[in-house]
Amino acid sequence: MEVAKIAEALATVTDPQTGQDIITANMVLHLKVEPPNVSFTLQLPKLEADYKQQLNFACQEAILSVYPGAQVHVHMQNPAATPQAGKGGGPQQSNPLPHVKNIIAVASGKGGVGKSTVAVNLALGLQQLGAAVGLLDADVYGPSAPTMLGLQGQKPQVEKVYGKPKIKPLYAYGLPVMSTGFIIEPEQAVVLRGPRLAGIIKQFVEETIWPPLDYLIVDLPPGTGDVQLTLVQVVSVTGAVMVTTPQEVALADAVKAMNMFFLESVNVPVLGVVENMAYFTPAELPDNKYYIFGKGGGKTLAKKSNSMLLGQIPLVQSIREGGDSGTPAVLDKENEAVREAWLNVARNVARQTALRNEMMGPTARVEMKN
Ligand SMILES: Nc1ncnc2c1ncn2[C@@H]1O[C@H](COP(=O)(O)OP(=O)(O)OP(=O)(O)O)[C@@H](O)[C@H]1O
């Protein structure tokens, strides 16, 4: 019996959660071959009976196809259910996205401040810095990612993995994207009641075949509501990025939205604030800054949340045009100043996330109440 042959056989087994084979996903540990016995530990993101059974069966079948006389012993283990998972993870909480290192929620107090623009440019900015990034547009009432990324009218495919339907994300500029806009019309979303909406968001998070990611950026609807509450129940949100415009009115709403993350039961750290439309710069006078909406909103919000101002983004025509045409401004090499403003935000988010992870354990998911 050869270890390499057994590993090769196990590489044909796909994890239904990620769509990746279990060898590439580093799920197989302590592989031991003492003929006729083959034993190993399989690290699983969850310990649900049918999921365990499917994988156990697939592993047995794969090994028996090369060594029909083998006695296969699979020990299943969930790393998130061990104490090493960190103080926040808690011993009982399983992690539905173990291959996603950081989940960053992008939030705002009210609509129209540029939250989706920030989510899209932040995702692509982090990708430009070399990270593996995905985007989940959970703004059910006004999904913008399809238009901003040139994916409008496209539908993600559903693929059966071990008999269970899974959604394949669409790709734009190498970025895996899922948007509620691919599946439901905003008019339909408005009439959805809490539990149904929660079910949809849960499905989007758990049943999408996300590849291994450093960051999953989640574009939330404005304000506080069922989508926000569902997200913090379904996954461990690493941190929130608040988006505001400089004026006072936007600020009051932003504080309300931010306070939801600070609730003792939710407890998601705020990584910082992006001040969008901070100043106006005419295309013909790129060095001039006009503070038409006032000044300082971003800084004030950052102070209130004990976090930092992650960046100030100017109000410029090219950002809107980029959003409308499906070519986000962070990719526009013709407009270096704007591109650099977005990359600066991405750098600061990466830095604040790393700092947060150094100082704190994973955020505990909010327990669902029946
Ligand atoms: N800095 C900017 N300069 C110019 N236009 C911008 C800027 N930021 C956003 N916009 C434009 O403003 C409009 C609203 O932006 P966006 O959809 O990102 O806001 P939002 O906060 O996500 O709104 P909602 O939650 O209601 O969808 C879009 O047309 C977008 O292109």
Specify whether 291 is located in the same domain as 234.
Answer: yes
Q: Is 113 one of the annotated binding-site residues?
A: yes
Q: How confident is the model at residue 81 (pLDDT cuts 50, 70, 90)?
A: low
What are 176's two structure tokens? 């895996």
8 Å CB contact between 307 and 278? no
pLDDT (0 to 100) of residue 265 = 79
Specify whether 166 is located in the same domain as 290.
Answer: yes
Does residue 85 surpass a pLDDT of 60? no
Q: How far apart are CA 325 and CA 336, in angstroms?
A: 18
What is the predicted ipTM?
A: 0.97
Q: How far apart are CA 155 and CA 151, in angstroms?
A: 9
Specify whether 326 is located in the same domain as 290.
Answer: yes
| Ligand 1 atom closest to the CA of 141, numbered from 1 | 27
What are 318's two structure tokens? 């090219």
Average pLDDT of the residues of the chain: 87
Which tens digit of pLDDT belongs to each residue from 15-25?
Answer: 887 788 888 88
pLDDT (0 to 100) of residue 90 = 44
Q: Using a 6 Å cutoff on CB, does residue 326 contact ligand 1?
A: no
Among candidate residues 213, 209, 212, the one with its CA nearest the CA of residue 126: 213
Instruction: Please give the distance of CA 80 from its chain centroid, rounded to a whole number.
Output: 18
As for how many domains the chain has, the answer is 2
Query: Which residue has the CA at smallest separation from atom 3 of ligand 1?
Result: 315
Specify whether 176 is located in the same domain as 213.
Answer: yes
Among candidate residues 370, 368, 365, 369, the one with its CA nearest the CA of residue 93: 365
Q: What is the CATH number of the domain that holds 226?
A: 3.40.50.300
Which tens digit of pLDDT belongs to each residue from 310-348?
Answer: 999 999 988 999 999 999 999 999 989 999 999 999 999
* Amino acid occupying residue 342: W
Residue 95, domain member (yes or no)? no
Specify whether 221 is located in the same domain as 285.
Answer: yes
Query: Which residue has the CA at smallest separation from atom 30 of ligand 1?
Result: 320
Specify whether 48 is located in the same domain as 168.
Answer: no
256 CA from centroid of ligand 1 (Å):
20
Residue 82, domain member (yes or no)? no
CA distances from 295 to 50, 246, 309, 314 (A): 56, 5, 13, 12
Residue 92, domain member (yes or no)? no
Instruction: Give the dihedral sign, CA 309/315/321/324.
Output: positive
* Residue for token pair 């994890």: 15
Residue 283, domain member (yes or no)? yes
pLDDT (0 to 100) of residue 91 = 44
Residue 91, domain member (yes or no)? no
SS (H, E, C) 172-238: ECCEEEEEHHHHCCHHHHHCCCHHHHHHHHHHHHHCECCCCEEEEEEECCCCCCHHHHHHHHHCCCC
Specify whether 51 is located in the same domain as 151.
Answer: no
What are 109's two structure tokens? 């107090």
Specify whether 285 is located in the same domain as 171.
Answer: yes
* Residues written for the chain: 370
319 CA from centroid of ligand 1 (Å):
9
Q: Which H or E element spans position 59? A: helix 49-66
Q: Using a 6 Å cutoff on CB, does residue 365 contact ligand 1?
A: no
Specify whether 17 is located in the same domain as 124.
Answer: no
Specify whether 70 is located in the same domain as 204.
Answer: no
Among candidate residues 254, 302, 224, 230, the one with its CA nearest the CA of residue 114: 254
Specify whether 342 is located in the same domain as 216.
Answer: yes
Q: How far apart are CA 143 and CA 184, in angstroms?
A: 10
Q: Using a 6 Å cutoff on CB, does residue 322 contact ligand 1?
A: no
What are 135's two structure tokens? 């985007």
Residue 93, domain member (yes or no)? no
Specify whether 53 is located in the same domain as 107.
Answer: no
What are 284's two structure tokens? 């013909």
Query: Which residue has the CA at smallest separation from atom 28 of ligand 1?
Result: 320
Among candidate residues 133, 209, 202, the one with its CA nearest the CA of residue 172: 133
Which tens digit of pLDDT belongs to each residue from 13-52?
Answer: 988 877 888 888 878 888 888 899 999 998 887 777 778 8
Entry pTM:
0.80
Which tens digit of pLDDT belongs to each residue from 117-165?
Answer: 999 999 999 999 999 999 999 998 889 999 999 999 999 999 887 777 8
Q: Using a 6 Å cutoff on CB, does residue 318 contact ligand 1?
A: no
β-sheet bridge partners, residue 158: 167
Q: Which domain holds residue 157?
A: 100-359
